[in-house]
Amino acid sequence: MVIATVLLTIIGMIGGYLLSERKDRAPVVAASTDAPSYTPSEGPSLLPTDGLCPQQTQDLGPSQGAQGELSQVLRRSTTRGTAIWICQDDVGQLFYHANKGGESAVWEEGKTALFLRGVRLLPDGSYEGTASDGSIFNLNNERLLITRLGGKQQVQDLAPE
């Protein structure tokens, strides 16, 4: 009888210890490839921003599903002179907007400029969006990678900041 009581006590102590260790650990959250999202009770899941995106982006945003102002998450330029912005609206949706020749050049959507909605922040820290023709634009801190629908890839290096 004494041995059974000792064994049950040891088993109970081990179980209690394991449960307390599990409770103290931070929950593990799987990396998501979706754009930041929110539920009304939580509020938006927003990335840090630095000012507003260009006026051309602000003007086009509402027609592309943006809610509120578009804030600049990231701005990069390629060595070819294309300026690229990753922008975030008030509810955490991400957008890509680029213009050949930079911000001061002529903006003509579909010719010199490209606006993408549904941009995702990937686990590797890059931002990725898909154009209407199926081309995938992936931007990281070193390059812009454009993958055409047939699989052909074009790499544009980023200019030093």
Spans of all domains in the chain: 55-157
- Of residues 139, 94, 147, the one with CA closest to residue 117: 94
Token reading at 22: 């599990």
At residue 34, does pLDDT exceed 60?
no
Q: What pLDDT score does 141 carry?
A: 92
Q: What pLDDT score does 49 carry?
A: 80
Token reading at 136: 């995938």
At residue 8, does pLDDT exceed 90?
no
Side chain identity at residue 117, one-letter code: R
Side chain identity at residue 51, one-letter code: G
The answer to whether 136 and 130 have CB atoms below 8 angstroms apart is yes
Q: What pLDDT score does 10 carry?
A: 55
At residue 129, does pLDDT exceed 90?
yes
Note the pTM of the prediction, 2 decimals.
0.71
pLDDT (average), residues 141-153: 94
Tell me the H-state helices in the chain. 2-24, 55-60
DSSP string, 64-119: GT--SPPEEEEEEEBTTS-EEEEEE-TTS-EEEEEETT-TTSPP-BTTTEEEEEEE
Apex 121 CA angle, 115 and 123, nearest 5: 150
Q: What pLDDT score does 39 carry?
A: 35
Binning pLDDT at 50, 70 and 90, where does residue 161 land? confident
Which H helix or E strand runs over 83? strand 83-88
Q: What pLDDT score does 50 carry?
A: 84
